[in-house]
Every structure is written in C-alpha cells, then in structure tokens.
Amino acid sequence: MSTINNEKTTVDPGTKTPAPRHAVRGGGRRRWLGLLLAVVALLVLASVPLWLSPYPVTMLSRILAFALLVVSVDLLTGYTGLPTLGQVAYFGAGAYAAGLTGIYLTTNAFVQMVVGTLVAAALALVTGIVAVRTKGFVFLMVTLAITELAHKQAEAMALTGGSNGLSGIPGISILPGGEPIALVGYLYWWVLFVFALGVALSVILVRSPMGRSMRGIRDGEERMRAIGRRTFMVKLVAFTFAGSLAGMAGTAWTAQARFVSPGDMAFALAAIALLSVVFGGAGTIWGPIVAAAIVILIRDEIGAIADGRGGMILGFVFVLAVFLLPRGIAGLSRRRAAAVGPTPIAGEGDEL
C-alpha cells in the first residue's frame, strides 16, 4: 500500500467518453435547484385553499393521498427493482386503523396517523419476511395475493364494516381535545402535511446509504451479495418502510373521506398505482407524483364528463405513454434521461 501511495500510479484507462457535464448525479447546483423547486411547489400547494373552491380542493386532497401511495409503490418498484401490487393492502390497513382510532379512541389526527402507520408497518414487516424472499414475477404474484387476502378479510370482518365499509368516522382534530375540523381547506392542509412528511422521508431514504443499497439490489442482487451485503435485510427494511408510507397515505385518505371501503385495498387501485409509477418514471420521486395527479384527474373528472369512461381513457393514456414516454414523465427532463437512461423496473437477473 505504501508503495502505491509513494509511487502514485496514474492510471488512465484510455476512455473515449469524456464525462458530460450534465450527466453528473448529485451535483450541488442541481440539488439546490431541486430543493428550491420543491419549496415553491409546496408553497403553491399550500396556497390552493385560498384561491380555489372547496370541490377542487377536496379532489386535490384525494390526489395527494393517492400520490403518497404511488411513491410507496415506487420505492419498491423503481428503487429496489421489486414490482409490487401489494401496497394497497397496507394503504387500506392504515386507513381502517385510522378510522377505527377515530371512532373508538380519539379524533386527534396525529394519533390516527401514528396508529395507522404503525399498523401498516407491522403488517408489512410480517408479510415482507415471506415476500422479499422472492423476486420478479413471483414477487408480483405474492404481493397480489397479499392484496387479495387483505381485501377479502376487510369484506369479511364486522369490525371493518364488511362489504359496506367503515362509516361514521368523526372528523379529525388537530389540537388535543380540540373541535373536529369542518372546513375543507383545513382538512386539505392536514393531508398536505402528511404528504409532505411522507415525501420528505422518502427522499431522505433514497439518498441515504440504505437508498444506495436499494439501487444496488435493483441493478444486480447477486453482485450485492458478492460484495458481502445482506440483501434480505435491505429488502425487508425497504418493504417495511414502503408499507408504513402506504399506511400513512391511508390515514390521510381516511382524514379527508371519513369513510373506508374494501375497494380502497383492491386490485384495481393496486394496478393503477403501479401503472402510475411506470407512467411517471420508475426510480424518481417527482415523476410518479405528477402521474398520480394525472391518473386521478382522468379517472374521476374526465371520466365523469365522458359518461364514466375514465378507465378506458386511462388505458389509452397508458398505452400512449409506453410508446411516447419509455422513461415516463420524468424522462422528459433531459438531464435526468442523460444521466440515468432507462430505469430498470426489475433487476437484471441473477448474474453476478
């Protein structure tokens, strides 16, 4: 070692591909610009109740809760290479837990959020022990089975209101012992707070050493094992975190809807959440959030105008997106596209 340091080898591997200035990840200027854009977006979102009528504000609340669910799908699908249909199970678990807490324990929004997130985390941890031992298509099927089991369980249980759903959930309150919030704008601000908290935690995760390991597993799990990493633990932590995030999104959903139905943890929702990740750009945070907004707008608003054909229009949009935006909406950012190239959804296989 000392020999090497003293002799200071200069190895130039004769590259003919100079580093493009834009193709650099984690540049300081880019990071600050991203942070600035996020703050501006947050301020604009926060101001919405001041200049929009209650109906679009309620719709935006739904979009934010769904977008957080989509981010949780992206953490597994886009960042860890584990395409999943199981996040709605934890979303529903969080939603039901928050609703039941509201009915039987307290209307305090913070308590409901914590309880819903912890219930989803516990469920994700237990199911994750089995699920993360698989990969690729098998993982997709295992997570679909988790969703179906959770859905059927919610329909069968009296505690969750069976197939009628859980109704009679009181409005949330912010201060301990405070009055329930009645104004749409205040509810929206709570949902925005939960959304911002969830997204911030996700960004911190993907930029941490844990996030590096998740991307390493996506690129090649065997390679990660060959450098001595315990990939099972990394995948289990990622799965549990993503489940918690979906549960957190579920609590935000309950706070604005005050009703939870078994349909909130059904295959249809799981499918559009996964497609939103592909549409938005797997392996980015902002792309799937934008895609989630477009998906909800088409399904609920344009679909209502087009005689309930929202699902059909959504299908066309997804097909067009596959051909026109192979890297998703996030691929429209030239910098990102040049830096990353197509983001693999699943790992490259078992090769070292």
Q: How many residues bind other proteins (CB under 8 A)?
A: 47
Question: Which of 58, 77, 87, 213 forms a contact with other proteins (CB under 8 A)?
Answer: 213
Query: Which is nearer to other proteins, 15 or 53 (by Cβ)?
Result: 15
Query: Which is nearer to other proteins, 54 or 341 (by Cβ)?
Result: 341
Question: Which of 226, 268, 319, 332 forms a contact with other proteins (CB under 8 A)?
Answer: 226
Contacts of 244 (CB under 8 A, 6+ apart): 90, 117, 118, 120, 121, 124
Contact between 169 and 259 under an 8 Å Cβ cutoff? The reply is yes
103-111, 211-219, 287-295, 306-314 -> range binding other proteins (CB under 8 A): 211-219
Contacts of 298 (CB under 8 A, 6+ apart): 310, 313, 314, 317
CA 59 to chain centre: 18
Question: Which of 215, 299, 309, 335 forms a contact with other proteins (CB under 8 A)?
Answer: 215
Shortest separation between residue 77's beta carbon and other proteins, angstroms: 14
Q: What is the four-CA torsion angle of 72, 245, 194, 116, rounded to 10 degrees?
A: 140
Helices (H) and strands (E) in the chain, counts: 15, 0
Residue 141 neighbours by CB distance under 10 Å = 12
Question: Which of 209, 307, 308, 323 forms a contact with other proteins (CB under 8 A)?
Answer: 209
Cα separation, 328 vs 314, whole angstroms = 15
Residue 148 as a binder of other proteins (CB under 8 A): the answer is no
Query: Which is nearer to other proteins, 18 or 177 (by Cβ)?
Result: 18
Residue 303 as a binder of other proteins (CB under 8 A): the answer is no
Contact string (CB under 8 A) for other proteins, positions 321-350, x = contact: ------------------xxx-xx------
Contact between 260 and 169 under an 8 Å Cβ cutoff? The reply is yes
Query: Which is nearer to other proteins, 137 or 232 (by Cβ)?
Result: 232
Q: Which amino acid is at 197?
A: L
120-128, 149-157, 221-229, 272-280 -> range binding other proteins (CB under 8 A): 221-229
Residue 158 as a binder of other proteins (CB under 8 A): the answer is no
Cα separation, 195 vs 209, whole angstroms = 23
Cα separation, 139 vs 144, whole angstroms = 8
Question: Which of 62, 229, 299, 335 forms a contact with other proteins (CB under 8 A)?
Answer: 229
Cα separation, 261 vs 158, whole angstroms = 13
Residue 6 as a binder of other proteins (CB under 8 A): the answer is no
Residue 34 as a binder of other proteins (CB under 8 A): the answer is no
Residues that bind other proteins (CB under 8 A): 1, 3-5, 7-17, 19-20, 23-27, 209, 212-213, 215-216, 218-220, 222-230, 283, 339-341, 343-344, 351-352
